[in-house]
Amino acid sequence: MDMTLFDLIRNYKSLSISGMCKNAGKTTALNTLINSSPDKEILALTSIGRDGEKTDTVTKTQKPDIYIREGSLFATAEQLLKFCDVTKEILDTTHISTPLGSVVLVRALSDGYVQLAGPSIIVQLVDISPYFWALGADRLIIDGSVGRKTLCTKLLADATILCTGASFSQSMEETILETQHTCRILMTPELPMLKSQISPIVPDTKYVILGKEKICLPDGAALHEHLKQTANPNYLYIEGALTDRFLDLLMRSGYPKGLTIVTHDASRLLISSDNLCKLNAIGGALGVLESINLAAITINPFSAYGQHYNSMEFKEKMTAAVPVPVLNVLEC
Amino acid sequence: MLSLSHEQKKRIGFTFVMELLKPASPYGRDAVRRIQPFAPGQEAALRIELQNIAKTLSAMPILKNEYTRLEQTFAQVKGIRRSIERIGQDLNEVDLFEIKRFLIQLRDITELFESVDTIADYTGINIEPATPALKLLDPENSAVATFHISSRDFPILAKIRKEKKEVERKLRENPKSDDIDLLHTLRATLASKEQAQEQYAMQWLSEKLIPWRGLLLSNTEAIGRLDLLLQKAKLAATYISCMPEIVVGVICFEEMSNPQLESILSAGGRTFTPLTMEMQTGATVITGANMGGKSVALKTLALNVLLMHCGFYPFASSASCTLFDSIHLISDDLETADRGLSSFGGEIVALQDVLSEVSCGKNALVILDEFARGTNPTEGSAIAKGVCAYMNKQNAFTVMSTHYEGVAALANMHYQVAGLRKLELDTTLLKDMQKASVSARISEIASCMDYGLVRVSADEALPQDALNICRLLSLDERIVDFIEMNMV
């Protein structure tokens, strides 16, 4: 028998759900997890940014509500409490502010619907989890918003579920290719041993070359100079993000043989699938200091814009394209 | 009270002292921000504040644990004045949660406060519990610092919740049943009824809390005041300080110090020399060597006078001081550029402001740091003498430091920085000095310098330390010879 979505995340104490686009089925996946978790398990829920509205404020389509069980914990913005129809027990208030008021921690004294709007800053989201553990949560689920590949660090959650679907593009091929690309980026190998080699970094460093020795560089011009001179650099660490423009320049001026480009985490790898292919073709590679476990990919064959996919075909093709379990969000 | 500018407070070390205060509660932090000097006429209130510090200091060693627990409880208090102020209006469940938590904390704080107050016996600090208000928000007497709208006093709400729970149970048990949509609709209806009843309950609670609003607000004030008071006492215990006497017509500080300057000096391995000053209305003049600490003396005086006015123990071994309407500090490093004035021009404008106030009969402390030093020495000296002679006849306290000869003779009191007078400049010392680096020489001078203030006669000659300092800093011998020739 096939594994359910819950089976795939059972061993992770905290996880995030990220989406390739609006209406990719994030909330459906979240509801599935809520329904399939054991009755006695205390779930804690929050989101980055806002989620759980009846209609999507961007596409104006009907969205599923988050329906939670009595005893669950959730963190949401003060002004959204009136849209949560569970009987509420206010547990604590935080200093984390959102456009909808500060974030409040609540226990559901009954089953019911909630709207989540947690902190929109990753660091603050990290601050929330200790509250939940202290309140007795067994598992934390963070509803990530769309395009937030920033939920890619273990600091926040042990694993992530990536949701994708027909709303991404009219073309199934394109949806699959882009999902495959995101999947590759999220699965960029972790190089934890580099952490100690890179730090400490001289102030104002943007790039670090690791070869026979460590060289800290403040800008692109200095990097260009040094890459020419340095024989066989093994790693190039970028303090900020890796962009297409940067990669283009590097490849045009002669990509050093065997060089691996490293960023802090996958959210800093802002490159297109074309460029990633080119990079791989010339023997280059990517690495991150911190990765996240990609537990599963869920697919939604229904599009909010009317161009639905054939579910069987979509699932088969996606399964062939990615090295992680693929589940239809409506059947998992 | 016309106070010193922000910049001046920083320069005299007042801001530094304020930053040493670490109140635990948001109300304590508010109280620090709102510190205002007591003015003439408020002597009684100031005495109460100072006596409360004395009471804390004597009670603290006996009740160490109680005070620590009090501060720990303060640290958990959140700033909820806005929620309290909204009592009687539309409170939501988060406001009610905050108020309930505050009421629980207030109960603990009251208990702790009562136990310290039996020994300390504070005046004017009243922290009172509001038990009936807590009972309203915690009808089940759970004593848990969380909040939910209890249905205990609201039978309709209780009935709706029971029905809703039942529907939710059915939904949970038969998620695939045929009448699932019907159940969801029913649940939605009950949920909106529940919300309406909760709204009603919150309105009811909000109204019931109205009689407690004033008490809750005054409790936040009292917590802030007590929190600040504990900080004042800790500060007094950390440094040499004393209970000042509030008197009329005298300023007298023995062995004053200044924590900011102390910390700067101790970072350089040096110590602060305590300063003793006594003065009456009229002018007091401070003369002394360069690098001798005339400005330090003035800043330290200004700091301690201001601290006492703000209800702090001054940093001195004994202190008595009159209450002023205003304290003024005029020095040529005033920021006058934005007014388009030279530093000299700035001094004159500032002095005129002070004079108009003094002539209105206001009780003022006027501190002039090397007044008119920026202009030519002939006129500068005449201006300093003129100002000194004039201020000496006024009913204000004026302290001025000066390099000019003959100013002190016009004042009713004259202090001198002891300076290098004890130092014998023998050839070995000079030779040693010449080998040392500039910074080593400066610290050598500092170690030879006696920063203490000595009261001298009005016509005591100015110390001639400038030339010695030139020598110690190894100024070329040939120039020193020329200088000596010119001094004859």
Q: Minimal Cα–Cα distance from B176 to chain A, Å?
A: 13
The mean predicted confidence, pLDDT, of chain A is 88
Interchain CB contact of B171 with A (< 8 Å): yes
Q: How far apart are CA B4 and CA A13, in angstroms?
A: 57
* Predicted complex ipTM: 0.82
pLDDT in tens, B314-357: 999 999 999 999 999 998 765 555 556 677 888 888 889 888 88
Which residue of B lies nearest to A110 if distances are taken between CA atoms?
B165
Q: Specify the pLDDT at position A52.
A: 47
Min mean pLDDT across B143-147, B163-167, B176-180, B435-439 is at B435-439
Chain A residues within an 8 Å CB radius of B171: 111
Torsional class of B250: left (φ above 0), alpha (ψ -120 to 50), beta (otherwise):
beta
Q: Does B119 touch chain A (CB under 8 A)?
A: no
Q: Which of A148-162, A259-273, B377-391 has the lowest mean pLDDT?
A: A148-162
Give the pLDDT score at B435: 72
Contact B146 A91 (CB under 8 A): yes
Higher pLDDT, B278 or B431: B278
Determine the pLDDT at residue B426: 63
Q: How far is B403 from chain A (nearest CA, A)?
A: 47
CB–CB contacts below 8 A, A to B: 51
User: Which has the higher per-residue pLDDT, B303 or A215?
Assistant: B303
> Is the model's pLDDT at A76 over the cut of 60?
yes
Q: Considering chain B, what percentage of its residues have pLDDT values greater than 90?
A: 62
User: Which residues of chain A are at the B interface, by a Cβ-Cβ cutoff of 8 Å?
Assistant: 35, 69-70, 78, 81-82, 85, 87-93, 104, 107, 109-113
Q: How far is CA B389 from CA A274, B227, B371, B376, B395, in A?
A: 87, 46, 13, 20, 13
Of residues B427 and B356, more confidence is placed in B356
CB B298 within 8 Å of CB B369: yes
